[in-house]
Chain A
Amino acid sequence: MNRLFEGLPARAFLLLAILAAALLVAPWLVNDYLLSVLIIVLYFAYVGQAWNLMIGFAGQLSLGHALFVGIGAYTSAAIFVHFGIGPWATVFIAVLASVLAGSIIGYLGFRFSIRGVYFALLTIAFAEFTRIMVDHTEWLGSTQGLFLPVANRESIDLLNLRGSPMMFYYVILGMTVAALVLCRLLLNSKLGYYWQAIREDQDSAQAYGVNVFRYKMIAVAISSGLTGIAGVFYAFYYNNLFPETTFATSRSIEMILGTVVGGVGTLFGPIVGAFFLTPLGELLTALTDDIGLDGIKPFFWGICVAGIVLFRPSGLWPWIAGLLGLDKPAGGEGK
């Protein structure tokens, strides 16, 4: 516990407590629509955190993280559909499958010292390759899609993860908090320092005796495993899976947008980014719905994202943290 809160200023505690309380009571105060938006926000905060671990902590750029969502989602959904085994049992298989895929990509990439842009393209290639393979796999529903039996949205069946949006809200909230805690602990551990050394200068880290290959592999494994869990949630929340919408590169981009906007390499960046971008998208939908012109929403959305990259390149969180006075004592985030 000490390591978790070490070095945080008093006002950070206060703000964290207010935020936690707000998130806990939120589902009782909002309507169905806002609840669904909050679930999506938390989902992106969670996957952003998982992606951030690889790029923000260990400096390895993945542009194919939709692959791990897809593997987690398809593994758990296929087992549920074909054998009726619920997600709490299959989440381990899903994580295992995602970690395996991540490790294969990591092993191949790092063994052959593929770095930077080339590594990013390797991740895209694997994701797209898998998408086409799932397209041709009858057992996974191929292009027709894989559908989970529609759940009763009134009841709560936590065991099979079938039930009301409120249940999904608390599940994803729990996952997001757990990921935040895990990342905070990892970042301040020895492992985290090795990662940051590799991120800043891989060659120097190697020269100082850091086993670069090993720690990069650990980063990919943890990141892909965490993302695989998000896939399980995705499958059971949406109840339908299509290769095109699950594995596509545009999904990978969507996953990382929030984190880059929020602040790569910071702990709160993924959360702030998700809380900013998803509502922004919804707001634009509401504003542009009346105009009824195809493409007007993504147009403004693209301009907002480009504007943030151009004018706040380190992300929103370091800036907000500065405004709130949270950046004074080094608490692990902010560099």
Chain B
Amino acid sequence: MPVEVYFNVAISGLLAGLIYGLSALGLSVIFGVIRIVNFAHGEIMVIGMFFALVLFRSLGLDPLLSVPIVAVVLFGFGYLLQTVVIERVAHLADHYQFLLMAAIAIILISASLMVFGPDAQGAQLPYAFDSFQIGPLIIDKVRLYAGAAALVVAALLFAFFRYTSTGKAIRACGDNPAGALVVGLNVRHMYALTFGIGAACLGAAGAIILMVVDAHPYLGPEYTLLAFIIVIVGGLGSLPGAMLGGVLIGTSEALAGILLQPSLKSAFSFGLLILVLLLRPQGLLGKASQ
């Protein structure tokens, strides 16, 4: 095979990795602040995909343009989910939280199954088969747009946490909830905002990934596991780590798919996850645990 093929595959993996990274950001933000592992992660993302699909079908809205709408709606969903349901198990042991999230995941999968049926459905974009040619490299137009959109959303999120007072307050709640309470922050509200922001990330990632992947109720668990791998590799709770992990996993899965066998590519990721857990459990960019 000519060497360009590998470069093309690597680039398309990298662009997909940016979307994975954005989705993993949603997981990382929630864990980093609320300390809840969102096992319904992939399912919430699939809800975002279906929502973007409905907008595409009813209004002809390009998934790229539906990103803000989907993100806002899922923000509301996340906010409510945290205040009405998840908050009540915050004081319980890990496995109760896990089970509640798993139950929510089951509810979301079966709800989307009831509404949309079991078949894979995609948004047929008019420019789906266009591509850019740069020298010997060929880059799919949809993938490039999708990767760029993921990068923009991620940059907005970084800016929010770095420069806005709400973002700083949320980080304070994540670092020290008791201290945040003492200085007068409404931790409950901040946690709900955080879950909302995490869900909004997933909504954005879902709308974006609809450009390259068909929506399907059973995609959820797969995306959940993928996001776990990414955040562990990058560092659970570290935002740059999630993006780095996403790109790393996206690229290496794409390359493993053509160098080995497509069906072996997730074994490669799980292998990487095991290695990172053993050698650097805090992840590549994570802070060492206290």
Write the residues of chain A forming the contact surface with B, with a CB cutoff of 8 angstroms. Answer: 55, 61, 63, 108-109, 112, 114, 116-118, 120-122, 124-126, 128-129, 132-133, 135-136, 249-250, 253, 256-257, 260, 264, 293-299, 301-303, 305-306, 309-310, 313
Least Cβ distance of A290 to chain B in Å? Answer: 15
Given that A136-B263, A306-B103 are known contacts, is A118 also in contact with B277, CB under 8 Å in the complex? yes
* Binary contact readout B95-138 vs A (1 if CB under 8 angstroms, 0 otherwise): 11011101111110111111001100000000000000000000
Least Cβ distance of A131 to chain B in Å? Answer: 9
Given that A249-B225, A302-B110 are known contacts, is A309 also in contact with B103, CB under 8 Å in the complex? yes
Least Cβ distance of B281 to chain A in Å? Answer: 5
- Chain B interface: which size bin? 35 or more
Q: Check: B267 CB closer than 8 A to any chain A CB.
A: yes
Which of B100, B102, B221 sits near A310, CB closer than 8 Å?
Answer: B100
Most buried by A among B106, B111, B225: B106
A299 touches B107 (CB 8 A): yes
Given that A116-B94, A120-B94, A295-B110 are known contacts, is A313 also in contact with B102, CB under 8 Å in the complex? no
Across the interface, which residues of B come within 8 angstroms of A264, CB to CB? Answer: 93, 95
A294 touches B113 (CB 8 A): yes
A55 touches B95 (CB 8 A): yes
Across the interface, which residues of B come within 8 angstroms of A126, CB to CB? Answer: 274
Most buried by B among A63, A257, A299: A299
A129 touches B270 (CB 8 A): yes
Across the interface, which residues of A come within 8 angstroms of B1, CB to CB? Answer: none
Give the distance in Å from the alpha carbon of A129 to the alpha carbon of B267 in the complex: 5
A309 touches B274 (CB 8 A): no
* Binary contact readout B70-107 vs A (1 if CB under 8 angstroms, 0 otherwise): 00000000000000010011001111101110111111
B106 touches A302 (CB 8 A): yes
A112 touches B99 (CB 8 A): no
Least Cβ distance of A258 to chain B in Å? Answer: 11
* Binary contact readout B248-290 vs A (1 if CB under 8 angstroms, 0 otherwise): 0000000000000101101100110110011001000000000
Across the interface, which residues of A come within 8 angstroms of B88, CB to CB? Answer: 310
Given that A55-B95, A296-B110 are known contacts, is A250 also in contact with B103, CB under 8 Å in the complex? no
Least Cβ distance of A133 to chain B in Å? Answer: 7
Least Cβ distance of A23 to chain B in Å? Answer: 27
Give the distance in Å from the alpha carbon of A302 to the alpha carbon of B114 in the complex: 14
Q: Check: B21 CB closer than 8 A to any chain A CB.
A: no
Nearest opposing residue in chain A for B105, CB measure: A302
Give the distance in Å from the alpha carbon of A55 to the alpha carbon of B99 in the complex: 13
Across the interface, which residues of A come within 8 angstroms of B105, CB to CB? Answer: 302
Q: List 25 A-B contacts (CB under 8 A).
A: A109-B277, A112-B281, A118-B236, A120-B98, A121-B277, A122-B277, A124-B228, A125-B270, A125-B273, A126-B274, A136-B261, A249-B225, A257-B99, A295-B111, A298-B109, A299-B106, A299-B114, A301-B106, A302-B105, A302-B107, A302-B110, A303-B103, A305-B102, A306-B103, A309-B99
Across the interface, which residues of A come within 8 angstroms of B267, CB to CB? Answer: 129, 132-133
A125 touches B110 (CB 8 A): no
B96 touches A128 (CB 8 A): no
A260 touches B99 (CB 8 A): yes
B232 touches A112 (CB 8 A): no
Give the distance in Å from the alpha carbon of A123 to the alpha carbon of B182 in the complex: 38
Nearest opposing residue in chain A for B97, CB measure: A309
Give the distance in Å from the alpha carbon of A125 to the alpha carbon of B272 in the complex: 10
Across the interface, which residues of B come within 8 angstroms of A303, CB to CB? Answer: 103, 107
A313 touches B92 (CB 8 A): yes
Instruction: Beyond the given A114-B277, A299-B106, A305-B102, please list 4 additional residue pairs across the A-B interface where CB-CB is below 8 A.
Output: A129-B267, A132-B263, A136-B264, A298-B109
Given that A122-B277, A132-B267, A310-B85 are known contacts, is A302 also in contact with B118, CB under 8 Å in the complex? no
Least Cβ distance of B215 to chain A in Å? Answer: 15
Which of B102, B104, B228, B263 sits near A253, CB closer than 8 Å?
Answer: B102
Give the distance in Å from the alpha carbon of A135 to the alpha carbon of B96 in the complex: 32
